[in-house]
Amino acid sequence: MKKQIRLLGVDDAPFSFDDKVVRVIGVVMRGGEYVEGVLRRQVTIDGTDATGTCIEMIESTRHRKQLKSFILDGVSLGGFNIVDIEKIFSRTDLPVITLTRDLPDFKQIEFALKQHFKDWENRLVIMTRGQLHQVKTKHNPIYVKCAGINIDEAKEIIKLSTIRGVIPEPIRLAHLIASGITRGESYGKA
Amino acid sequence: MKKQIRLLGVDDAPFSFDDKVVRVIGVVMRGGEYVEGVLRRQVTIDGTDATGTCIEMIESTRHRKQLKSFILDGVSLGGFNIVDIEKIFSRTDLPVITLTRDLPDFKQIEFALKQHFKDWENRLVIMTRGQLHQVKTKHNPIYVKCAGINIDEAKEIIKLSTIRGVIPEPIRLAHLIASGITRGESYGKA
């Protein structure tokens, strides 16, 4: 696999419980090295528009033709606004990789969804669909899901786009930008 | 000089004539390679707060102690809100480098300042103070001013932080972020 493949990484901004919408930042990079573009959208907090917003970002960017993969931090944007990675792949034909540092606690998630959403079952189905792979790194393991790509290719993309730590640069940068523009200075980890 | 020195690069967002303020984005990098932080401030369009805002950004960032230079695209932020690079250096002790792709047309600038500002003379004095150096690159020459640092050191910093083209990564990225978050997708060159 080429080291310079184009990746679009996405993360959401921090938000408070008063907010209705939250910014979503996308970063287009060649591998983990060179930033080619920055995108900004918004999604409804706890809404159902995250999947559509991801599809629209992919389809409308000027970098569309060069993109080889879409990388997401976790499986939701803006609280419980679940991202349907299978749907993104089937609509755009762009392979999708999601990753998290922590093993999701699906019992706790199910409990929270039941408390807050009439359509909790649908959200849970999307969230738990597909295999969750534990991937070893030099540091702690990460948890990876993918659509339209096998786990070995996904691992390769994660590896070639990670410079320090365990988070690929496109989503690490998306996190820095999203938190920086919201709070005045970026903080923490994607 | 170490390749991994910390630099803070700053650029302003695009704005329209109806706007009163404009976002200013700062990017903290190690050399031209690794982003460590993103800052966001705002300045008044055609105001007089750009210098103070730059000083406050430098002094308040968590990366303050590591910073070796402040890099600016041009000598103003938000239209004719002139940045006094000598003042930034004297207040913060951080060397300042400004660069532009185009040789400024000071006659035209003087004409515009006279038309719009009572304090035009003061703005012009700040803008034209200090030596403007033409610096050769592989591409077109760039025009560089510096404060608290000599032109040879400034050239070295520009060289080590430029990956492609002629613009150092911290201000290239600040431009991509500022335009991306304002317009939805980044465009053009810093």
Q: Hey, is the C-beta of B37 within 8 angstroms of any chain A C-beta?
A: yes
- In a mutational test of the A interface, the residue from B23, B35, B42 whose CB has the highest number of chain A CBs within 10 Å is B35
Mean pLDDT computed over A33-48: 97
Integer Cα distance of A6 and B21 in angstroms:
34
Angle, alpha carbons A93-A94-A96 (nearest 5°): 125
Q: Hey, is the C-beta of B60 within 8 angstroms of any chain A C-beta?
A: yes
Contacts of A73 (CB under 8 A, 6+ apart): A9, A10, A11, A98, A99, A100, A167, A171, A174, A175, A190
B3-55 residue pLDDT tens: 889 999 999 999 998 999 999 999 999 988 999 999 999 999 999 999 999 99
A113-131 residue pLDDT tens: 999 999 999 999 999 999 9
pLDDT band at A41, cuts 50/70/90?
A: very high
Residues A82 and A184 sit within 8 Å (Cβ to Cβ): no
Mean model confidence pLDDT for chain B: 95
Mean pLDDT computed over A14-18: 92
**B137: buried, middle or exposed (CB in 10 Å: 19+, 13-18, 0-12)?**
middle
Instruction: Tell me the nearest-neighbour CA distance from B179 into chain A, angstroms.
Output: 8
Residue B188 has pLDDT above 90, yes or no: no
Residue type, B150: N
- What is the total residue count of chain B? 190
What's the complex ipTM?
0.95
Q: Which of A39, A60, A173 sits opposite B35 (nearest CB)?
A: A173
Residue type, A142: I
Integer Cα distance of A13 and A23 in angstroms:
5
pLDDT band at A190, cuts 50/70/90?
A: low
**What 3-state DSSP class applies to A103?**
coil
Q: Which of residues 136-165 of B touch A (CB under 8 A)?
A: 163-164
Query: What is the pLDDT, as a whole number, of residue B93?
Result: 98
Q: Which residues, listed in sequence order, are joined to residue A73 by a DSSP beta bridge?
A: A99
Query: What is the pLDDT, as a whole number, of residue B91?
Result: 98
**What 3-state DSSP class applies to B101?**
coil
Residue B190 has pLDDT above 80, yes or no: no
**What 3-state DSSP class applies to A107?**
helix
pLDDT band at A68, cuts 50/70/90?
A: very high
Q: Hey, is the C-beta of B184 within 8 angstroms of any chain A C-beta?
A: yes
Instruction: Tell me the nearest-neighbour CA distance from A90 into chain B, angstroms.
Output: 24
The string over A35-65, giving b where at least 16 C-beta atoms fall within 10 Å of a residue's C-beta and e elsewhere, is: bbbbbbbbbbbbbbbbbbbbbebbeebebee
Query: What is the pLDDT, as a whole number, of residue B2?
Result: 84
Q: Hey, is the C-beta of A184 within 8 angstroms of any chain B C-beta?
A: yes
Contacts of A129 (CB under 8 A, 6+ apart): A86
B176-187 residue pLDDT tens: 999 999 999 998
User: Helices B50-60 and B85-92: crossing angle, nearest 10°?
Assistant: 30
Integer Cα distance of A152 and A165 in angstroms:
19
Quick check: B180 and A23 CB within 8 A? no
Residues B1 and B161 sit within 8 Å (Cβ to Cβ): no
Mean pLDDT computed over A69-80: 95
Mean model confidence pLDDT for chain A: 95
Residues from chain A that touch B25, judged by Cβ atoms under 8 A, are: 180-181
Integer Cα distance of A149 and B122 in angstroms:
61
Alpha carbon separation from A110 to A77, A106, A119, A142, B112 (Å, rounded): 17, 6, 11, 22, 63
B69-110 residue pLDDT tens: 999 999 999 999 999 999 999 999 999 999 999 998 999 999
pLDDT band at A10, cuts 50/70/90?
A: very high
Q: What is the pTM of this model?
A: 0.96
Residue A82 has pLDDT above 80, yes or no: yes
Residue A111 has pLDDT above 70, yes or no: yes
Query: What is the pLDDT, as a whole number, of residue A188?
Result: 77
Listed in order, strand segments (DSSP E) in chain B are 6-12, 21-30, 34-44, 67-73, 96-100, 133-135, 142-147
Residue A189 has pLDDT above 80, yes or no: no
Residues from chain B that touch A38, judged by Cβ atoms under 8 A, are: 176-177, 179-181, 185-186
Query: What is the pLDDT, as a whole number, of residue A2?
Result: 84
Structure tokens at B59: 């002094």
Mean pLDDT computed over A56-61: 98
